[in-house]
């Protein structure tokens, strides 16, 4: 199961709101991990790399692992999709920009 927290960029500074979001997420995902006899859960939505700071604030004990897929592979995968770049050069630029933003967000 993947849960996108793209809206987390606007995560409130109010500790009660952060705690509420953390509790809600745990109530939603912890039972799934327990049912699968797993020690925890992993969130792998690529866009959430851009929200690493907010996620760490919400889940201070989280371990953040950033796995980078070769940009050439990504470019080949997204070209021609309705939402993606139209050619390989544009797709490589698209990947490089997103990768740079992800690295910056995790600094």
> pTM for the whole thing?
0.69
Residue 7, pLDDT above cutoff 70:
no
- Which CA distances in Å does 66 have to 18, 86, 103, 107? 23, 27, 9, 11
User: Can you tell me the distance from the alpha carbon of 93 to that of 49, in angstroms, rounded to the nearest whole number?
Assistant: 18
- Rg, Å, the chain Cα set: 16
User: SS3 breakdown of the chain: % helix, strand, coil, rounded to 5?
Assistant: 60, 0, 40
Reported as a single tens digit per residue, the pLDDT across 63-97 is 888 889 999 999 999 998 989 899 999 999 999 99
């Amino acid at each position: 199961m993947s849960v996108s927290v793209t809206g987390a960029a606007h995560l409130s500074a109010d500790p009660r709101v952060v705690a509420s979001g953390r509790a809600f997420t745990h109530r939603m995902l912890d039972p799934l991990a327990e049912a699968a006899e797993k020690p925890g859960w992993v969130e792998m939505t690529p866009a959430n790399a851009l929200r690493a700071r907010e996620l760490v604030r919400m889940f201070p004990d989280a371990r953040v692992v950033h796995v980078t897929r070769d940009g050439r592979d990504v470019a080949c995968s997204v070209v021609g999709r309705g939402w993606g770049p139209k050619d390989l050069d544009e797709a490589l630029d698209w990947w490089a920009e997103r990768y740079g933003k992800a690295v910056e967000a995790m600094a």
